C-alpha cells in the first residue's frame, strides 16, 4: 500500500510531467472506482479541457488541481497507481481511467485490486475520509508539543492510532512498524500507558523515519510514477531475520487484519499487559 513517503515523491514526479498540460480527452474504462461528487455529473465531461495546475499529496491522497475549484483526487488504497507515458499507453486489464494530455502523453489509473477510488469533485471535503485527516507529519506546525497535545485525544493501541490518519496523515502499516521500532515502543501498547518520553520518542521517530524515507525514495523512484519502492525497512516484512539493533529474530503478529513486525527485545511488551 502506498504511504506518505511513496506518494510524496510520486506527486513530485507526476507534477514535473503533467503540470501545465491540458486534458484533451478523458475516458472511464471501468466505472467501478471512478466517482463524481456530488453524484450526478459525468466525470469525463468535467475533466476534458481542463489544465493540470498542480499535483500534490494530502495524507494518502494524490491531488490534481484542475482549476476553477475542480479536483481529481486519487486514493490508491492497496494497489492503485497512476501510469504515465506516450499515448496510447498499452492497455492493461485493470486500467480504470484514461486521460490523454495535450502533449501527446497519457495518464491511466491502474489498480490490480480494484479497491482504490478516483474522485472528480469541486469540494475535497466531500471525498470520504479527507476531512478526517490530521496534520501532515513533516509540517512545520506539527511541533513536539502540538503532537503531544493531539495524542491526548486518542485511545487504543499506538500502532492503530498511527495508521488511522486522524492523529497525523499518511502513515500506514509499513512505516508504523518502522517508526515504532525506531522509537523502541511495543506496537500494541495502549496510548494511555505511554510515558511523556515515549511519546516524544515516537514524535522524533515519525520525523526521522519519514523524512529519511522521502529522501531515499527520491533516488529509488527516479522518474517512475507507478512503481512502489519500500526503500530501507529494518523490521517490516523481515520476520525471522536478525534485528539490526540487537540481533534477535524479528517477530511477526497477524492481528486486526494486518501484520505487525517488531523486535521483542528492543520493543518489549505484552498483548496481555
Instruction: Please check whether residue 131 lies inside any domain of the structure.
Output: no
Q: Are 164 and 175 within 8 A, CB to CB?
A: no
Interatomic CA distance for residues 27 and 25, integer angstroms: 7
Nearest Cα to 84, choosing from 11, 193, 153, 157? 11
Q: Is there a single domain that holds both residue 153 and residue 227?
A: yes
Tell me, what's the pLDDT at 109?
Answer: 98
Q: Is there a single domain that holds both residue 170 and residue 210?
A: yes
Can you give the CATH number for the domain in which 153 is found? 1.10.8.50
Q: Is there a single domain that holds both residue 119 and residue 199?
A: no
Tell me, what's the pLDDT at 125?
Answer: 97
Instruction: Please check whether residue 57 lies inside any domain of the structure.
Output: yes
Q: Is there a single domain that holds both residue 113 and residue 168?
A: no
Number of separate domains in the chain: 2
Q: Is there a single domain that holds both residue 153 and residue 255?
A: yes
Q: Is there a single domain that holds both residue 59 and residue 105?
A: yes
User: Taking the model in full, what pTM does it have?
Assistant: 0.95
Q: Are 119 and 80 within 8 A, CB to CB?
A: no
Tens of pLDDT, residue by residue over 71-116, are 999 999 999 999 999 999 999 999 999 999 999 999 999 999 999 9
Q: For 29, what's the count of Cα atoms within 13 Å in the CB-facing half-sphere?
A: 18
User: In a structure prediction context, what are the per-residue pLDDT tens digits for the chain, which is 273 residues long?
Assistant: 899 999 999 999 999 999 999 999 999 999 989 999 987 789 999 999 999 999 999 999 999 999 999 999 999 999 999 999 999 999 999 999 999 999 999 999 999 999 999 999 999 999 999 999 999 999 999 999 999 999 999 999 999 999 999 999 999 999 999 999 999 999 999 999 999 999 999 999 999 999 999 999 999 999 999 877 878 999 999 999 999 999 999 999 998 779 999 999 999 998 765
Domain termination site, one of 73, 93, 123: 123
Interatomic CA distance for residues 23 and 259, integer angstroms: 40
Which residues form the domain of 178? 144-262
Q: Are 108 and 129 within 8 A, CB to CB?
A: no
| Cβ-count burial 113-127 (b if 16+ within 10 Å, e if not) | eeebbbbbbeebebb
Tell me, what's the pLDDT at 272?
Answer: 62
Tens of pLDDT, residue by residue over 34-48, are 999 987 789 999 999
Which residues are tagged catalytic?
A: 2-3, 60, 258
Torsion of CA 26, 27, 30, 33, to 10 degrees: 20
Domain termination site, one of 123, 157, 177: 123
Amino acid at each position: 500500500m502506498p504511504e506518505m513517503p511513496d506518494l510524496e515523491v510520486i506527486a513530485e514526479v507526476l507534477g514535473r510531467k503533467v503540470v501545465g498540460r491540458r486534458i484533451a480527452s478523458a475516458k472511464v474504462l471501468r466505472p467501478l472506482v471512478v466517482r463524481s461528487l456530488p453524484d450526478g455529473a459525468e466525470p469525463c465531461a468535467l475533466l476534458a479541457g481542463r489544465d493540470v495546475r498542480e499535483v500534490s499529496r494530502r495524507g494518502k491522497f494524490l491531488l490534481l488541481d484542475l482549476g476553477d475549484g475542480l479536483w481529481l483526487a486519487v486514493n490508491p488504497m492497496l494497489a492503485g497507481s497512476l501510469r504515465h507515458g506516450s499515448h496510447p499507453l498499452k492497455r492493461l486489464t485493470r486500467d480504470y481511467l484514461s486521460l490523454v494530455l495535450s502533449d501527446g502523453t497519457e495518464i491511466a489509473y491502474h489498480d490490480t485490486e480494484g479497491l482504490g477510488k478516483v474522485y472528480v469533485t469541486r469540494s475535497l471535503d466531500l471525498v470520504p475520509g479527507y476531512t478526517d485527516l490530521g496534520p501532515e507529519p513533516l509540517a512545520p506546525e506539527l511541533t513536539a508539543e502540538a503532537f503531544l497535545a493531539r495524542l491526548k485525544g486518542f485511545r487504543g493501541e499506538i500502532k492503530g492510532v498511527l495508521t488511522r490518519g486522524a492523529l497525523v496523515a499518511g502513515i500506514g502499516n509499513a512505516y508504523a512498524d518502522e517508526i515504532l521500532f525506531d522509537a523502541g515502543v511495543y506496537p500494541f501498547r495502549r496510548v494511555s500507558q505511554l510515558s511523556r518520553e515515549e511519546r516524544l520518542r515516537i514524535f522524533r521517530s515519525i520525523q526521522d523515519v519519514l523524512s529519511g524515507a522521502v529522501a531515499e525514495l527520491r533516488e529509488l523512484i527516479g522518474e517512475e510514477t507507478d512503481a512502489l519502492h519500500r526503500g530501507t525497512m529494518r523490521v517490516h516484512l523481515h520476520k525471522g531475520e536478525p534485528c539490526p539493533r540487537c540481533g534477535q529474530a524479528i517477530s511477526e503478529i497477524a492481528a486486526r487484519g494486518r501484520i505487525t513486525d517488531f523486535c521483542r527485545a528492543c520493543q518489549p511488551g505484552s498483548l496481555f499487559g
